[in-house]
Amino acid sequence: MSSSLTDQRIRALRGTKPKADPWRAHGALTESERRPDGSTERALTIFLTGSECPFTCVFCDLWRYTTDAPTPPGALPRQIAETLKAAEQPWPERLKLYNASNFFEPRAVPVSDLPAIAELCGPFAGVTVESHANTIGGRTLEFARQIPGKLELAVGLETIHPEASAALNKRLDLGQFDRAAGFLAEHGVDLRVFVLLGAPHVPSEHTVEWTVRTAVYAAERGASVVALIPVRSGNGELERLEALGQFTRPTLSQLEAALDQCLQHTAGPTVFTADLWDVDRLAGCPECRPQRVDRLRLLNATGKPRPSIHCAACNG
Give the pLDDT confidence of 170-218 residue by residue, as tens digits: 999 999 999 999 999 999 999 999 999 999 999 999 999 999 999 999 9
User: Could you tell me the residue range of the domain that residue 134 belongs to?
Assistant: 5-302
Whether 70 is covered by a domain: the verdict is yes
> How far is residue 277's CA from residue 282's CA, in Å, rounded to a whole number?
11
User: What's residue 315's pLDDT?
Assistant: 80
Q: What pLDDT digit, counting tens, does each position of 68-105 carry?
A: 999 999 999 999 999 999 999 999 999 999 999 999 99
Sort strands 225-230 and 190-197 into parallel, antiparallel or unpaired.
parallel
Kindly tell me the burial class for residue 69, based on how many C-beta atoms sit within 10 Å of its own C-beta (0-12, 13-18, 19 or more). exposed
Whether 309 is covered by a domain: the verdict is no
Q: What is the CATH number of the domain that holds 269?
A: 3.20.20.70
pTM of the model: 0.96
Chain Cα centroid distance, residue 83: 21
CA torsion angle for 284, 249, 159, 130 (degrees, to 10)?
A: -80
Q: What's the rounded mean pLDDT across residues 132-150?
A: 97
Whether 313 is covered by a domain: the verdict is no
Dihedral sign for Cα 127, 101, 98, 290, please: negative
Task: Evaluate whether 101 touches 51 at the Cβ level (below 8 Å).
Answer: yes
Residue 66: how many CB atoms within 10 A of its CB? 23
Percent of the chain scored above 70 by pLDDT? 99
Examine the pLDDT at 267 and tell me if it is beyond 80. no
Instruction: State the average pLDDT for the chain.
Output: 95
CA angle 114, 56, 59 (to 5 degrees): 110
Task: Evaluate whether 160 touches 213 at the Cβ level (below 8 Å).
Answer: yes
Task: Evaluate whether 181 touches 222 at the Cβ level (below 8 Å).
Answer: yes
**Higher per-residue confidence, 266 vs 139:** 139
Examine the pLDDT at 266 and tell me if it is beyond 80. no
Examine the pLDDT at 2 and tell me if it is beyond 60. no
User: Distance of CA 228 to CAs 9, 273, 279, 302, Å?
Assistant: 27, 6, 12, 16
Number of domains present in the structure of the chain: 1
Whether 226 is covered by a domain: the verdict is yes
Whether 244 is covered by a domain: the verdict is yes
Task: Spell out where 159-306 has E strands.
Answer: 190-197, 225-230, 271-274
Whether 113 is covered by a domain: the verdict is yes
> How far is residue 130's CA from residue 69's CA, in Å, rounded to a whole number?
20
Whether 128 is covered by a domain: the verdict is yes
* Residue 231 identity: V
Examine the pLDDT at 221 and tell me if it is beyond 80. yes
Kindly tell me the burial class for residue 151, based on how many C-beta atoms sit within 10 Å of its own C-beta (0-12, 13-18, 19 or more). buried
User: What's residue 265's pLDDT?
Assistant: 86
Whether 307 is covered by a domain: the verdict is no
The gap between the terminal CA atoms of the chain, to the nearest Å, is: 47
Residue 290: how many CB atoms within 10 A of its CB? 10
